[in-house]
A and B are shown apart, each in its own frame.
Chain A
Amino acid sequence: MQELMNRCKKRLIALVLSLVFAAVSVLSYSEPAYAIEEFTHGENIRASVNGSDNDITIKALHYVYPNNRYVSMRDVAAAISGTDKQFEMAKDGDKLAVTLGVPYGAVGGENVPFELPEEKPADEETEEPEITEFKYRTKNMGLNAMEVNGKTVKYYTFIGDNMAGKQDYYISISDLAMLLDLNMEFRGERLYIDTSSSYVPNIDKLREEGFYYEVHAALVGDATTGEIYDEYNPDNPVAIASVTKLMTYLCIMDAISSGRIGANDEVVITKQAEELSNGEDGVIKMEEGQVSSVSELIKGMLLPSSNESALSLAIHVAGSEEAFVELMNAKARELGLSDKTVFYNPHGLPGFMDSVAASKHQNRMTVEDAFKMVQYILAVYPGIKDVTSLQKTELPTFNRVINNTNPLLYNMDEVVGLKTGTTIMAGACLVAAADVKGADGSVHTIVAMEFGAEDFATRNTLTQELMVYGINRFRENAGEPLDTGAEIKIPQTAEEFIRAVIAEAK
């Protein structure tokens, strides 16, 4: 009995101690402010605003690689306050609110340099380089939303504290230049900020600086006229990941326009689609036997890039995935695309082929072929823009609100979609389209695309720069407004002529 009492007593003491320990742990825990990403490479950049001789310090963090600089927005805000491109920063709930054209109200710590370790010569005996002691903690890099003059934009940023403990945002120099519509460039080690003109990408200079080395292939052009403004590795076949779904969309629309299926047809989810939705590549949870519709699945396929939606549509159109893939390849040949463009499935995921030599195949295209395909889609089925320009929508069958994965949709008013794509082999891919009105009132669709970026941040920045370049080129080409009054606007290219006649016929 005594032994039993002792055991109970011990257990009671252990329990009380555990509870006390747990309570102390909970009370003493507070989430570290920014304890997830730790930078060891910081830089105090000497900057000059509008040619001033006064050096201003702009703090920068180097993300992963040297010279991959993300600069302090507060430092830049303070540096250019009083110019045409001045802006104010404030916290609005979870978001950063940026107001353009307003003087910056300093909160402290702006343009105060990082305390970087002194450069010391290497140890003469071991000849080992000095290890830096700089550490800076921020939240992980993320696609953080900001309100800019009331409009939500999304850029990859780090959120951290500045030297006075005030929250600061670190953003890539290119993204900030586009966001503020000003020019920033390094000459030597000095950063020159020019607020007197709009952001104009100099494609030749960018090329010299290795702009395109960040991707496998890229292109920017006017899809309305077919004019290509610039391209990189135009005829190299590259893996295209979910950009594939544009061809899937095209084949589905062909089936609708020929009357083989209807846009409101019911589509029964198959076991195959359910399995895909439950796997690691699943986007929207689906169950065999659920009844959706063609139009609902098109939204699912194009906005969050649902692989199971693409598969369900393919099976609905052709009876099987394999039969649909034949349609895709036949369409590629019909469009006159090169034989470097090949499709193996309707969604763009890697697929293993039945081959002795291990063959993990991915759909591939050249950028010139992709441009032709997009041109065709925009010409024949321009309704795609109605879908891909949605930032979010509902899929009632699956009880889901889905978001568009295209980042440029948020950052540029002119952008109307089109499609993202990512696999390990393909890298981060993006095809973006923007409707731009020329001086004569005509609307042209400018298309910028890149395949093979290492990460989403690079994908977004590079494609946005290409898009800005393309829009600038189009506006330069468009020339002065025509004083035509009520006269008919005469098309100047074959494509414009055809569109004018189609518009008349409809």
Chain B
Amino acid sequence: MKKVIVRIVIVLVILLLLSAGVFAALQFFRPGKKLPGTWTMNVDLTDEVVKTADDWLGNAILGNKVSLRDHTDGLLLPVYFEIAEDGTCSTYIRQEDYDALADESYTAFADAMNELLTMRLKDAGVEADAAKLDEYVKNAVGSDTAEYLKANAPSIMPEYENVFMIYSKEGTYMIEKETITIDGTVYDYLVNDTTLMLHDVTTGENKVYARVNE
């Protein structure tokens, strides 16, 4: 009797697990339910920013190895992808994200500039810690290094309007079985509660979005 009960329990557990698996799979591949909402992915502007900054630093580097790249883990701008239930969608960037990235970029630029300044001061026989360096800079140009760079160096950030134009679009989408067509471009897609992956079937490019919890 005891053996029979154990077997029944095992069978029930197996059935339960199979049901859960099937349910999870169904949930995962139910695009209509999962797609609507706001998604985001990061665009990496590091190379563009580093090039402009390093070019400007270039004529003063004179043998010192200084690069903005060494002062950042990556300069990433969020791009949002909003999917509405009525079949429309849009991508856009937010001014506040752009401004925050600009601050982050100029902090890295100032760190690189200060590193170079410290080296050049040392070459000239002057040892300066961070506080002293800041004092010298303020006395010389009336602001700290980051503010000076923002005001006087060439803009290391791409213009907001340009980035907005590149990433801000409105359109429609249509779901057919395992593909989604967004403004004529066909993607394979995978979606769950937190992640949306679009695979451009023509170019092979992948875009991975994270859901924005609003």
Contacts and interface: CB of A to CB of B under 8 A. Distances in A.
Interface string A482-506: 0000001011111101101111111
Majority DSSP secondary structure for residues of B touching A: helix
Contact of B121 (A335, A492, A493, A502): A502
A379 interface: yes
Most A Cβ at <10 Å: residue of B56, B59, B60, B126: B59
Contact of B140 (A226, A380, A494, A500): A500
Nearest to B126: A505
Contacts of B21: none
B86 to A, nearest CB: 52
A12 B140 CA distance: 91
Contact of B59 (A488, A495, A503, A505): A495
Contacts of A500: 140-141
Given A335-B63, A488-B141, A494-B113, A502 B57 contact: no
Contact of A494 (B56, B128, B139, B151): B56
B61 interface: yes
A506 B56 CA distance: 25
A376 interface: yes
A506 B124 contact: yes
Given A226-B58, A335-B63, A372-B62, A501 B123 contact: no
B141 A490 contact: yes
A336 B60 contact: no
A492 B58 CA distance: 14
B137 interface: yes
A67 interface: no
A335 B116 CA distance: 13
A502 B132 CA distance: 12
B152 interface: yes
Contacts of B136: 501, 504-505
A464 interface: no
**Which of A225, A380, A498, A506 has its CB near the most chain B CB atoms (within 10 A)?**
A498
Interface string B110-127: 000100110011011110
Contacts of A68: none
Contacts of A501: 117, 121, 133, 136-137, 140-141
A225 B59 contact: yes
A257 interface: yes
B63 A505 contact: no
A498 B136 CA distance: 10
Nearest to A228: B59
A255 B137 CA distance: 28
Contacts of B124: 257, 380, 502, 505-506
B37 interface: no
Contacts of A380: 62, 120, 123-124
Interface string B164-204: 00000000000000000000000000000000000000000
A491 B128 contact: no
A460 interface: no
A494 B62 contact: no
A505 B153 CA distance: 22
Contacts of B148: 490, 497
A494 B117 CA distance: 10
A500 B152 CA distance: 14
A336 B151 CA distance: 29
A495 to B, nearest CB: 4
A318 B112 CA distance: 33
Given A379-B120, A490-B141, A502-B121, A336 B63 contact: yes
A493 B59 CA distance: 8
A502 B62 contact: no
A354 B73 CA distance: 50
Interface in A378-393: 379-380
Given A491-B152, A492-B152, A506-B126, A226 B121 contact: no
Interface in A223-276: 225-227, 257
B126 A490 contact: no
A488 B138 CA distance: 11
Contacts of B116: 494, 498
Contacts of B113: 494, 497
B142 interface: yes
B57 to A, nearest CB: 5
Contact of A488 (B60, B62, B125, B142): B142
A209 interface: no
Nearest to B120: A498
Nearest to A487: B142
Contacts of B57: 494
B141 A257 contact: no
A64 B125 CA distance: 52
A179 to B, nearest CB: 34
A334 interface: yes
A183 interface: no
A375 interface: yes
A86 to B, nearest CB: 44
B157 to A, nearest CB: 18
Given A380-B123, A494-B113, A498-B120, A503 B140 contact: yes
A461 to B, nearest CB: 29
Interface in A414-469: none
Given A257-B125, A497-B141, A379 B117 contact: no
B61 A336 contact: yes
Nearest to A257: B125
23 contacts: A226-B58, A226-B60, A334-B63, A375-B59, A379-B62, A380-B62, A380-B124, A488-B140, A490-B141, A491-B141, A492-B152, A493-B60, A494-B59, A494-B60, A498-B120, A500-B141, A501-B137, A502-B121, A503-B140, A504-B137, A505-B124, A505-B128, A506-B124
Given A494-B153, A502-B120, 7 more contacts: A225-B59, A335-B63, A490-B152, A492-B152, A495-B60, A500-B141, A501-B121
Query: What 9 pairs between A and B have smallest CB-CB spacing?
Result: A226-B59, A335-B63, A494-B60, A495-B60, A504-B140, A500-B140, A376-B62, A505-B126, A505-B136
